[in-house]
Amino acid sequence: MKEKFLIFIPAYNVEDKIFNVLNQIPKKIFRKEKVDILIINDNSKDNTKKIIIKLKKKFKFKIKILNNKKNLGYGGVQKKAYKYAIKQNYENVIMLHGDGQYTPKKIPKFIQELKTENFDAVFGTRMWSLSSAIKGGMPIYKFFGNIFLTKIQNLILGIKMSEFHSGYRSYKVKSLKKINLNKLSNRFHFDTEIIIQFIIKKFTIKEIPIPTIYRDEVSHLKSIPYGINVLLSTIKAGYR
């Protein structure tokens, strides 16, 4: 039986990336499942808005575009997307970044895991192979920072995840309905906070291997503030 999937793409200053991201989405998923695309342009300062409007006409699959009048931030955009998925009665939502850092070719695997297994969320992990992460171009400071933060978080929260910091994620919408999204951060550590909420509710998270891809993308994440916020959120949760 076909389920409704929403592929959500946060887009901020990705004028030279977004075409390749859309073009690499495997076409077979649209034949096998009910799949729509949602692009949220988070008040980009380049030509992202104009380009995604043009691309909407180019591709045959259904693309919904939302243009934010002000920048909501990485977490704020996710909140908007997940509320949209809930309101439009999707059963599953997959987040695929608009900057090309995660390969769209893994989408069929996410769909398979969400459909065939009883998981509340399926995350892609780059840290399944440390050598693969390095070969994929992950900067050394991010590589060791990822390992350090993940170990601390696992210790405090009493779980065993290989990576807390991948942005390639998917969720069952019925599970998202049980999360108070408004209480979560609008910033990058939203990703840690939603994991914590899933742990509190004893939801299941499945990790699947994904390749590490670092090229010439410009990161908007500031590592030190991010790391501090991640640790503070985790420590706070550990004292519950």
Integer Cα distance of 194 and 120 in angstroms? 12
Instruction: Determine the 3-state secondary structure of 92 from DSSP.
Output: strand
**Of 39, 42, 34, 31, residue with least CA distance to 56:** 39
C-alpha atoms less than 13 angstroms from C-alpha of 166 in its C-beta half-sphere? 27
**Of 164, 140, 141, residue with least CA distance to 151:** 164
Pairing of strands 63-67, 34-41: parallel
The helix or strand, by DSSP H or E, that contains position 232, with its residue range, turns out to be helix 223-238
Both tokens of 222, joined, read: 């500031």
DSSP 141-181: HHHHHHHHHHHHHHHHHT---S-S----EEEEHHHHTTS-G
Alpha-carbon separation of residue 227 from 4, 141, 203 (angstroms):
35, 12, 24
pLDDT tens digits in sequence order for the chain, 240 residues long? 788 999 999 999 999 999 999 999 999 999 989 999 999 999 999 999 999 999 999 998 999 999 999 999 999 999 999 999 999 999 999 999 999 999 999 999 999 999 988 899 999 999 998 888 888 888 898 999 999 999 999 999 999 999 999 999 999 999 999 999 999 999 999 999 999 999 999 999 999 999 999 876 556 677 788 889 999 999 988 766
- The domains located in the chain, with CATH, are 4-238 (3.90.550.10)
